């Protein structure tokens, strides 16, 4: 492994740790705002990405995929934020807002990276590493948003589908038992891969346009 590959791999791993950490912080912060004491009690209302990192899902498995290049896409996950939803009157809306706050934080990070890229006036050759880092960050976070909104447990989209009444409790529990297998099958189907790619592209385009506008 040459120095360039090692550097790029480390940057990609750092991006993933930051992005997953911010995603989980979004869940914890919104839960705190909605009066749920559990995330704060467990030390999850923090921007420290390592408070949200799963040793295997955030660091070990992504590192193996990045540095050993096994031939399939990068996957990773953080430590799930536990919530108690203590207010019965607002439980449904609380759960929807808490769930959507995770992907929303990844959208916010796309915006921040695009602003830094546009206002930084980076030279494409001289500052190639910085430009690549920022662009990778935009596409990574756009991908996290699109993937997490798939309505299959344990992804965020499934919680929203449940609370909107698209799934019954029984259907949700059944999907939860088979969710990992369902996702493995889906991500290997060409039509599904195309849909994910298109979703990522359309979500990333506004931030790339903002970068160009500011530049």
Q: Does residue 24 carry a catalytic annotation? A: yes
Residue in 24, 169, 170, 198 annotated catalytic: 24
Answer whether 179's CB lies under 8 Å from 154's CB: yes
Residue 81 is given by DSSP the state P
- For 205, the 3-state DSSP assignment is helix
State the Cα–Cα distance between residues 69 and 52, nearest whole angstrom.
25
HSE-up of residue 193 (Cα within 13 Å, Cβ side)? 8
Q: Kindly list the distances between the CA atom of residue 214 and the CA atoms of 120, 129, 209, 211, in Å, as whole numbers in the listed order.
A: 9, 20, 9, 5
In which region does residue 3 sit, left (phi positive, over 0), alpha (psi from -120 to 50) or beta (all else)? alpha
Q: Is the dihedral of CA 131, 134, 140, 145 positive or negative?
A: negative
Active site residues: 24
């Amino acid at each position: 492994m040459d120095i360039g590959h090692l550097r790029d791999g480390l940057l990609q791993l750092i991006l993933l740790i930051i992005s997953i950490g911010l995603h989980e912080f979004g869940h914890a912060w919104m839960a705190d705002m909605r009066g749920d004491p559990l995330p704060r009690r467990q030390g999850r209302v923090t921007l420290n990405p390592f408070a949200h990192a799963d040793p295997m899902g955030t660091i070990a498995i992504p590192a193996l995929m990045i540095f050993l290049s096994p031939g399939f896409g990068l996957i990773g996950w953080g430590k799930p934020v536990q919530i108690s939803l203590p207010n019965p009157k607002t439980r449904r809306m609380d759960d929807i807002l808490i769930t959507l706050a995770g992907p929303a934080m990844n959208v916010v990070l796309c915006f921040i990276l695009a602003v830094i890229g546009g206002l930084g006036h980076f030279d494409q050759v001289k500052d190639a590493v910085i430009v690549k880092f920022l662009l990778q960050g935009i596409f990574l976070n756009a991908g996290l948003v699109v993937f997490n909104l798939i309505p299959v447990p344990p992804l965020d989209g499934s919680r929203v589908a449940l609370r909107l009444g698209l799934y019954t409790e029984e259907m949700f529990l059944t999907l939860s038992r088979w969710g990992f297998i369902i996702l493995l099958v889906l991500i290997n189907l060409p039509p599904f891969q195309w849909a994910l790619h298109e979703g990522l592209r359309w979500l990333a385009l506004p931030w790339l346009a903002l970068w160009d506008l500011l530049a």
